[in-house]
A and B are shown apart, each in its own frame.
Chain A
Amino acid sequence: MTLNRRQILMLLPAAAVAWEYVLAGTPEEASNYKSSEHWWGMLLDITKCIGCGSCVRACQMENDVPDGYFRTWVERYHVSDWKIENPVVDSPNGGKDGFPQSELKGGKNFFVPKLCNHCVDSPCTQVCPVGATFHTADGVVLIDYNYCLGCRYCIQACPYGCRFFHPTRHTAEKCTLCYHRISKGLTTACCENCPTGARQLADLKNPKDPIHEYLKTHAVQVLKPHLATGAKMFYNGLDGSVR
């Protein structure tokens, strides 16, 4: 095959267009929110939680969480005397409607609000076969719902049980730490609506955030620290019986 001058001249613009398409990318920046300037976590104060379920209701309203599924929920623990390895845990409807008075008398009783721990080394991200789960630069674990196949590996991998399978969208689903809110300078829906201040969003990269002083002066723990997931949900007053 030989190309004459005319054919080459006709092909050049086509090649130029193709090359332009290859190089195109880098869409315009989203907003003035800079994810590299933040590192999100949350403080959960068990000594303040009253189990009212405001956080659960707020989360469901804010994020259209289907009924019977939870991005955040509240558990009630009952530990009788020394048996801290066998606590009785209940969470009727995720604590959404509050808790009825306990029938188990005595012992130690308290509420534990739970949500995605937004782990630094999250098991759910590691197991995703299509890379649909990812870490943002500000330390939030999110799901690309277009990429998610719905294979449910991540749901099994999460040691905290924080993921669920969305019944109509047929993808994995989890807490986004209200990314649409925190990227606008608001706090999360659960933190906004906690009446006792038991939940507080924390920006660990912000030196003025009260979290730093709090972490220095309180005995704070994360859930399942032995799994080394790098959980960023810090619990004050966490009892050894909490799983």
Chain B
Amino acid sequence: MSKYKDSAHLIRLAGVFLFGAVVFVAVRAAVIPKSFGQYGPYRGDALREIMARPVAYAGHEVCEGCHPDVAETKAKGVHAHVNCEACHGPQAKHAEDPGTVKPVLPDVAKLCVRCHSENIAKPNGFPQVNVKEHADGQACNTCHQPHSPAFVAGGKK
């Protein structure tokens, strides 16, 4: 039985491999973000960063919580499906702090025209007017209540 004399070579080699493996694991742990692979092959924190963005539009349910009277008026009219912030703009800050953040009333002259000015590409049946002929310079809310815009003779109620 011959004994392998140079076993020290193998031990040294094994040491080198072990050292390499430890360095690899350590570098890998240091370089790869901790949340990588949490949900899939991407950084879980990236998802949370995107989710952390503040909301600008509170949503109509929030508006209706404090303004049930308007919600009721609106629900009966043809603007029932138009959500509050479509006209009033983003109001999440107002919803959070109604005392100090006051919404600015939208400019009727621009607001109504956006949807209701005549355009050949608009679907049939959608109420459209030639603004100059229709209103003759008067503001829309002289005759129409925007929350429930049926024609109100002699001015808005």
Residues of A within 8 A of B (CB): 18, 21-22, 24-27, 30-31, 33, 35, 47-54, 58, 61-63, 76-78, 98-102, 105, 109-111, 131, 134-137, 142-147, 176, 179-181, 183-184, 186-187, 189, 192-197
Contacts and interface: CB of A to CB of B under 8 A. Distances in A.
Contacts of A109: 120-121
Contacts of A35: 39
Contacts of B113: 98
A51 B45 CA distance: 37
A30 B51 contact: yes
B46 A193 contact: no
A27 B55 contact: no
Interface in B90-135: 90, 113-115, 117-123, 126
Contact of B56 (A26, A52, A77, A189): A189
B41 interface: yes
B87 to A, nearest CB: 8
A84 B26 CA distance: 61
A35 B44 CA distance: 12
A94 to B, nearest CB: 14
A179 B51 contact: yes
Looking at chain A's contact residues, the main secondary structure is loop
A101 B118 contact: yes
21 contacts: A27-B35, A31-B51, A35-B39, A47-B123, A50-B122, A52-B115, A54-B86, A61-B56, A61-B90, A98-B114, A99-B119, A100-B119, A101-B119, A110-B121, A110-B123, A143-B46, A144-B43, A179-B51, A180-B55, A192-B60, A196-B82
A170 B120 CA distance: 39
A145 B49 CA distance: 9
